[in-house]
Amino acid sequence: DQLQERVEVDNQNLRAAEAKYRATRATLESARAPFFPTVSLSAARTRGSATSTSTATAGGTTNYSLAASLNWELDLWGRIRRGVEGARADLAASAADLAAARLSTQALLAQTYVQLRAAEVQADLLRRAADAYGRFLELTRHRLSAGVASPLDVAQAETQLATAETQAIDADSQRAQLEHALAVLVGAAPASFTLAPAPRLPEVPATPALLPSTLLENRPDIAAGERRMAAANARIGVAEAAYFPVLDLTGSYGYRNNALANLISAPNRFWSLGPTLAMTLFDGGARAAEGQLTQTNDSEAVTIYRQTVLTAFQEVEDNLAAARLLERESQAQARALASARRAREIAENQYKAGTSSSLNVVTAQTAELSAEVNATNLQARRLLAAVQLLKNAGGRWSPPA
């Protein structure tokens, strides 16, 4: 839980997703700007020759001007409105992308944590097995000294002990690498991050046998796909509005004179106000091509959305089946482990009584260790499957209130 709190604040990938969301929000504000008039202020000093002979001046004339201008597009055909609609849908899709990144990072953290705890359990199991193998090696050496065991028995026991020690070191190596991965996920340098060992794996949560399909509505990737579909549809309206004339209301007010002194005075004042209607008559097919492009993008967005929904159904079904079947497999493995433990005990007792060879003991010990390793792996797989099911269900197993 503490790591999950840290990952939401310090994970660098989440920060990048948040920055992308803020950029999309700025794009929406930019799309809204044309709803309001644009007002600008200008000041100029120009020098040039007069074209009229009655005002000809040797060396040219100098003019000064100070003016304010206004331009406001009247959105008669909805071009601006559809643009804002598309930008708003893009913002919602970006918010869903951020939620998807957060959910994915949380799931990755949980999975990495489970794998780290599994590596710890494996390393502890192998070290305990190595201790037992060491005691068996000492027993075999004593029996060799007493003349009731052969050097082959000792060599087999030594091989078994060294193999267990090697596997324990390998599990420690895996644990170290997973700890470094956790450090990066929470935005810390691996050298400054440590996680105290745990004695056992977490308990496997009770996973439901059936989930309502409405949970998929909470999946961020589905929400993002639906909003991108809406954005693509809105841009069709923007492309269609290009066929209609643009009506602008323009105006200007200012002062102009050939001398800077008394520039701002009534005789030097000028103003203008009026509508402007502009329409493109020929563009070489640019508008038609833009319309086809927006239609194609809309079709692509619809197809991607449908595929996202189908994939979501598959992922949930896969993990529901995995959770159910892994539980059954774990029960079968528990029975196998109990049988392997009994077989090892019988083989050791027979060896001590001199009625069985050391090979039988080594074989039984190896089988027991393999069964314990498989049991641990199965528990870790069940935990990973539960995490993945929760992620694929949108982060919850019950519909929100």
Segment among 59-68, 243-252, 339-348 with least mean pLDDT: 59-68
In angstroms, the CA 321 to CA 319 distance is: 5
* Cβ-based neighbours of 183, under 8 Å, separated by 6 or more: 189, 190, 192, 193
DSSP letter for each residue of 39-57: EEEEEEEEEE--SSGGG--
DSSP letter for each residue of 226-284: HHHHHHHHHHHHHHHHTTS-EEEEEEEEEEEESSSTT-SSGGGEEEEEEEEEE--S--T
The pLDDT value recorded for residue 400 is 64
SS3 159: helix
* Count of helices and strands (H, E) across the chain: 7, 4
Where residue 59 falls among pLDDT bands split at 50, 70, 90?
A: low
pLDDT tens per residue, range 353-383: 888 888 898 899 999 999 999 999 999 999 9
Instruction: Provide mean pLDDT across the span 141-146.
Output: 89
In angstroms, the CA 294 to CA 240 distance is: 10
Output the six-digit token pair for 218.
């909470």
Instruction: Provide mean pLDDT across the span 384-397.
Output: 90
The pLDDT value recorded for residue 261 is 82
SS3 86: helix
The pLDDT value recorded for residue 351 is 87
The pLDDT value recorded for residue 124 is 92
The pLDDT value recorded for residue 325 is 94
Query: In 3D, which of 199, 191, 181 has the Cα closest to residue 123?
Result: 199
Q: Global pTM?
A: 0.82
The pLDDT value recorded for residue 259 is 84
Angle at 184 between CA 107 and CA 389, to 5 degrees: 5
CB 4 within 8 A of CB 186: no
The pLDDT value recorded for residue 232 is 95
Summary mean pLDDT of the chain: 91
pLDDT tens per residue, range 97-114: 999 999 999 999 999 999
Where residue 50 falls among pLDDT bands split at 50, 70, 90?
A: low
Where residue 332 falls among pLDDT bands split at 50, 70, 90?
A: very high
The pLDDT value recorded for residue 57 is 53
> What type of residue sits at position 358?
S
Instruction: Provide mean pLDDT across the span 56-78.
Output: 84
Distance of CA 213 to the CA centre of its chain: 23
Which of 26 and 62 is assigned the larger pLDDT? 26
Facing residues of 289 across strands?
none
Rounded to the nearest 10 degrees, the angle between the axes of helix 151-185 and helix 2-10 is: 50
Where residue 352 falls among pLDDT bands split at 50, 70, 90?
A: confident
Helix, strand, coil percent values for the chain (each to nearest 5): 70, 10, 20
Strands 38-48 and 269-278: unpaired
Query: In 3D, which of 296, 264, 151 has the Cα closest to residue 304?
Result: 296
Query: In 3D, which of 358, 323, 365, 313 has the Cα closest to residue 143?
Result: 358
The pLDDT value recorded for residue 263 is 86
The pLDDT value recorded for residue 23 is 95
pLDDT tens per residue, range 188-237: 999 999 999 987 888 888 888 888 888 898 899 999 999 999 999 999 99
CB 358 within 8 A of CB 153: yes
